[in-house]
Chain A
């Protein structure tokens, strides 16, 4: 497979805090093909950001990649130094961060900030840089780029700022774009435009996108494939269709069921009881077991392996084990829905 852009193997990342070791990522394997949009979803604190940041080695100093490999464009960057990474960042991988209000430097004009990124690829003069910058802004849907280059980030709205960060990420023409919850802070209307923009980019220029969100609506709209994370592990991954219409991990099922959907009229939502585990003390076995009303004894003891359901669909849960009782494998809740 020579068009694999990103290949992550058994990645484990821990933060060493005074209180102990936070196992933020616990053995995640994932690979992205060229032009593909993969969405990682899962609730807060399940390690999505940690995963993204370890791809570009932007983890804090007390974070340690404990095992695993990251291969970007055929190069294993696991052992790369800070200097080596400078060549990878921007050129190979671009990243859009969570909060558009803080990711732009408030005291530099956006022209300057764009130019910094543009300079990675060209040694063009100031005028040419400006032209390219205007082009980029237009690409992300900001008109009258010429006048706006001199403006400060504060003079833009949140949505515009988010698009500017996207433009900056795209400026050095990376093959892979990592977008870590790019839309959480935005209005629904702006969010929609962002998503469509990304989708167009992937389609038209073959950009590979790894998008992180916990909004399943976003995932449904944009993704080719969706991965669900829970407590530092990828618990289920499959095409969008597979995940949304045939979720297999009890957590995925619970998540989908908990969405307030327009169809439901009665006042109660179906919720998953309990809280996600504290990553300081990750329990043995399936981390979700304690919230799963149909958890089996083995869930509390042994980590489930991945069970493949199709070429693209895998899930790590004992419910898929042939030994599991019938009621667990086909929970009635799901049946009723279909």
Chain B
């Protein structure tokens, strides 16, 4: 098989809390991202999704583990500029993702400058980027505080695209947006992916969105992978209890007061993150206790 774009091997990120306790935010994750595909990552709040994203984007150094970028091994903490430029992150909170004292233009310029792109064509490239993400040109000099959430998110995507990434990590890019804008952003990401042919890690807590956009889905709990597999397979036949719980919790926008039974049998249940991954169907792994 040909080498995936990015292979993540046994990556770990532990935080030492002031109380001395070790918090295993990301605990021994391994998976790979193929060129052009979209992997959805779901999991409850605090299960380590953002930490994983930051580790992959090189914003924090992992405790252990290796990355293989196009087959080339990059040990923890030793990233080169190539890799740095190839992976870009769109933050969960677009509010704090921009320097409040830089206009959209300045932020984009910074990204261009830092990723070492041609200096002379800044303006053209910025206009192009804004047009790509559908942000009207009249916002180019606006400051982040003057933009609405959706516009800021577009600007964030534009900034990510500026570096021409090969892997775009979108950390809950639509979490703070409304349905109507959410649809715009998701469409935008899908379109851009088609144009630019990058791979994408799409983190979300809205399962319907993940199901909609991703080719494969990764379910996380307490820093570990619970289940990973092709999206449709995973959603239609969830194998792990936790995945089942999640997919049962999806509330379809249909009046269904009486029709859907509540799922009390899962509520009290202790969901264990122990065990190891087993392949139950081709490409579909589930954590099981042995």
Chain A directly contacts chain B within the complex, with at least one CB pair under 8 Å: yes
Bound CA–CA A268/B186 (angstroms): 8
- Which of B178, B179, B187, B249 gathers most chain A CB within 10 Å? B179
B150–A275 CB distance below 8 A:
yes
Cβ–Cβ < 8 Å partners of B252 in chain A: 217, 220, 261-262
For chain A residues 71-92, which have a beta carbon within 8 Å of chain B? Answer: none
Across-interface contacts of B148 in A (CB, < 8 A): 45, 275-276
Are A187 and B179 CB-contacts (below 8 A) given A264-B212, A269-B186?
no
Q: Does B280 contact A (CB under 8 A)?
A: no
Our count of residue pairs bridging A and B at CB distance below 8 angstroms stands at 118
**Any chain A CB within 8 A of the CB of B111?**
no
- The answer to whether A189 and B246 touch across the interface, beta carbons within 8 angstroms, is yes
Q: Annotate B208-224 by CB proximity to A: 1 below 8 A, 0 otherwise.
A: 11011100000000000
Task: List the one stretch of B84-92, B112-120, B253-261 in contact with chain A.
Answer: B253-261
Contacts of A254 in B (CB 8 A): 180
User: Shortest CB–CB separation between residue B274 and chain A, in angstroms?
Assistant: 20
Q: Which chain A positions have C-beta within 8 A of B260?
A: 221
Query: With A187-B44, A187-B45, A188-B250 in contact, do A271 and B255 touch (Cβ < 8 Å)?
Result: no
Known pairs A43-B181, A262-B211; A189 contacts B44 (CB<8 A): yes
Query: Which of B45, B181, B183, B257 is the most central at the interface, judged by chain A CB atoms within 10 Å of its CB?
Result: B183
B-facing residues in A201-239 (Cβ within 8 Å): 214-222
Closest to B177 in A: A44
Convert A237-272 into 0s and 1s, putting 1 for each residue whose CB lies closer than 8 angstroms to a CB of B.
Answer: 000110011000000001110111110100111111
Q: In the bound complex, do residue A260 and residue B249 qualify as a contact, i.e. CB atoms below 8 Å apart?
A: no
A192 within 8 A of B: yes
Which of A192, A193, A276 is packed against the most chain B CB atoms within 10 Å? A192
Query: Assuming A193-B267, A275-B150, is B253 touching A258 (CB within 8 A)?
Result: no
Quote the shortest CB–CB distance from A50 to chain B (angstroms).
16
| Closest Cβ–Cβ distance, residue A289 to chain B (whole Å) | 15
- Report yes or no: B255 in contact with A215, Cβ–Cβ below 8 A: no
- Decide if B69 is an interface residue (CB 8 Å cutoff): no
Question: Contact: B179 with A214, CB < 8 Å?
Answer: yes
Question: Smallest Cβ distance from A209 to chain B, in angstroms?
Answer: 14
Give every chain B residue within 8 A of A195 (Cβ-Cβ).
Answer: 251
Nearest CB on B from A337, distance (A):
12
Chain A residues packing against B (C-beta within 8 Å): 43-45, 158, 186-189, 191-193, 195-196, 214-222, 240-241, 244-245, 254-256, 258-262, 264, 267-273, 275-276
Q: Which residues on B are within 8 Å of A, measured CB to CB?
A: 44-45, 148-151, 176-184, 186-187, 190, 205-209, 211-213, 235, 245-246, 249-257, 260, 262-263, 267
Query: Which of A187, A193, A258 is B205 in contact with, Cβ under 8 Å?
Result: A187
B213–A192 contact, CB under 8 A?
no
Q: Which residue of B lies closest to A195 (CB)?
A: B251
Give Cα distance in the complex from A255 to B209, angstroms: 15
Instruction: Name which residue of chain B comes closest to A216, CB basis.
Output: B253
| Known A216-B253, A217-B251; contact A188-B207, beta-carbon cutoff 8 A | yes
Separation in Å of the B214 CB from the closest CB of chain A?
10
Which residues of the other chain, A, contact B250 by a CB distance below 8 angstroms?
188, 217, 262
Contact A221 B184 (CB under 8 A): no
A44's nearest neighbour on chain B, judged by CB, is B178
Contact A189 B253 (CB under 8 A): no
Given contacts A187-B45, A262-B211, contact A269 B254 (CB under 8 A): no
Task: For A264, give the chain B residue with the smallest CB separation.
Answer: B212
A–B Cβ pairs within 8 angstroms, 15 of them: A43-B179, A44-B149, A44-B176, A189-B44, A214-B179, A215-B251, A217-B252, A220-B254, A221-B256, A259-B183, A261-B208, A261-B253, A262-B235, A271-B187, A272-B184
Contacting residues, chain A, for B151 (C-beta < 8 A): 275
Name the CB-closest residue of A to B251.
A217
Which residue of chain B is the closest to A259 with respect to CB atoms? B253
Shortest CB-to-CB span from A97 to chain B, Å, is: 17
What residue of chain A has the Cβ atom nearest to residue B194's Cβ?
A267
Report the Cα distance A219→B177, complex, angstroms: 17
